[in-house]
Amino acid sequence: MKRVPYLALVGLTALATAASAQLMGNGVYWHSGDGGIPKYTPKVDGNVSDLEAGGYHLSWKPSDIWAWGDKYGYTQDSDLISRRIRVYAIDVDNNLYLADGEDPAENGTDVDLTTNYYFSWDENNFYVAANNIDNHYDVVEDRTNGANDNAFWQRDTFWITFDLSDGTGANNTNNIVDFRAAPVNANDAAFSMQIQHFQDGTGTQINYGDDPDYFLGAQLFGGPNSTGYYLESSVPWDLIFLFDPDNRNRVGSGFAFRGRFIIPDPDGDNLYGQTYFGGDQTTIGTNNKWPRFILQEDLSVPTAVEESTWGTVKKLSQ
């Protein structure tokens, strides 16, 4: 990336000195460990403190992208002038959107969106919680032409794409599963949870409120809080493996899968911004390079980025 537009951004958004100091990149510590997800059964009730304490922590924010981009390189020229800014580092992507009514000084900063996700597992479920910093809670889409439960991009959404083949299969068939959750309670809205299974290149998306039984007992609690929003969810492995049942029995300690994340953040407008983790807009379908997660008995020890799988990927791309 050219230095000129970056310096322009500093002037444009008046980044604090503390944030600029992170751009040197030295000693960057990967917050997200080595991909080992601990076996832990939380109480799924909307109080995320148990998963915060007992789960695997995945976190990223715009200042991380600057730091990692400076250290490992940016994958495309950035566009810092348009309302939807673009900054792509190797496996994270920041194109947060400046919405009407949003403070321009906040857009694209850690105040706009800082993600904190927590994962655990047991024999029955994959568990996820979020406690995200966000400057606008978005759960109502554009209804000019009526309600649209499919418009996930117009709401704050957790979106993981599982590759159940651990990077060995295709990116558009039975091993690929999208799971999305909005920061609401499951019964509050049809769009509260969405799942999409792929088969022979075609995805089939189901919204929770259209067919709750399809979700096989999945739970979701969520809403706004003082710093942004939270959610806590259980996702049955039987649901995740619905189109890949022959591999359901692989779930257990040592089971590895790939996962990448898209987090929409429209901030009240109809055009969405988002960040990616595990890919950017040029590599989003490259499932054999998505971050790798491994189910294990205990919580893994956080690992410096250079020693992690993702660190290896970054080195390959330098």
Could you write out the DSSP letters of every residue in 108-155?
A: TSTTTEEEEEEEEE-SSEEEEEEEEEESS-------TTS--TT-GGGS
What region does 53 belong to: left with phi over 0, alpha with psi -120 to 50, or beta?
alpha
**Closest distance of CB 126 from Ca ion, Å:** 15
The answer to the question of residue 299 lying near Ca ion (CB under 5 A) is: no
**Min dist. Cβ of residue 49 to Ca ion (A):** 7
**Least separation, in Å, of the C-beta of 171 and Ca ion?**
28
Strands 228-236 and 125-134: antiparallel
- Using the rule CB under 5 A, which residue among 93, 134, 141, 269 binds Ca ion? 134
CB-based contacts of 87, cutoff 8 Å, min separation 6: 1, 62, 65, 66, 69, 74, 78, 80, 93, 94, 95, 108
Contact region with Ca ion (CB under 5 A), list: 1-9, 113-121, 202-210, 295-303: 113-121
Residue whose CB is less far from Ca ion, 74 or 127? 127
Give which of 74, 37, 33, 9 is closest to 253, Cα–Cα: 37
Q: Is 195 helix (H, G, I), strand (E, B) or coil?
A: strand
Pick one of 64, 141, 156, 269: the residue that binds Ca ion (CB under 5 A).
156
State in angstroms the smallest separation of the CB of 263 from Ca ion: 9
Q: How many residues bind Ca ion (CB under 5 A)?
A: 16
Q: Binding segment for Ca ion among 6-14, 46-54, 181-189, 243-251 (CB under 5 A)?
A: 46-54
Shortest CB 248 distance to Ca ion, Å: 25
Q: Indicate if the alpha-carbon torsion angle 163, 277, 285, 177 is positive or negative.
A: positive
CB closer to Ca ion out of 173 and 185: 185
First-residue to last-residue Cα distance in the chain: 13
Region binding Ca ion by CB under 5 A among candidate stretches 9-17, 39-47, 117-125, 251-259: 39-47
Is position 116 an interface residue for Ca ion (rule: CB under 5 A)?
A: no
171, two tokens: 């990116």
Residues 219-278 that bind Ca ion (CB under 5 A): 265, 267
43, 143, 248, 315: residue in contact with Ca ion (rule CB under 5 A): 43
Q: How far apart are CA 139 and CA 264, in angstroms?
A: 11
Binding residue for Ca ion (CB under 5 A) from 138, 141, 269, 280?
A: 138
User: Cα angle at 69 between 64 and 70, to 5 degrees?
Assistant: 105
Phi-psi domain of 238 (left: phi exceeds 0; alpha: psi -120 through 50; beta: other): alpha
Q: Does 107 bind Ca ion (CB under 5 A)?
A: yes
Q: Smallest distance from the beta carbon of 20 to Ca ion, in angstroms?
A: 20
The answer to whether 155 contacts Ca ion (rule: CB under 5 A) is no
Least separation in angstroms between residue 135's CB and Ca ion is: 5
Q: Which is nearer to Ca ion, 138 or 141 (CB)?
A: 138
Q: Which residues inside 62-101 make contact with Ca ion, applying CB under 5 A?
A: 96
Question: Cα–Cα distance between 119 and 38 in angstroms, integer?
Answer: 8
Which amino acid, 183? Answer: P
Minimum distance between the CB of residue 137 and Ca ion, rounded to whole angstroms?
6
> Residue 294 and residue 296: Cα distance in Å, rounded?
6
Closest distance to Ca ion from the beta carbon of 258 (Å): 26
Which member of 47, 124, 227, 309 binds Ca ion (CB under 5 A)?
47
The answer to whether the CB of 228 falls within 8 A of the CB of 133 is yes
Interface with Ca ion (CB under 5 A): 42-43, 45, 47, 50, 96, 107, 112-113, 134-136, 138, 156, 265, 267
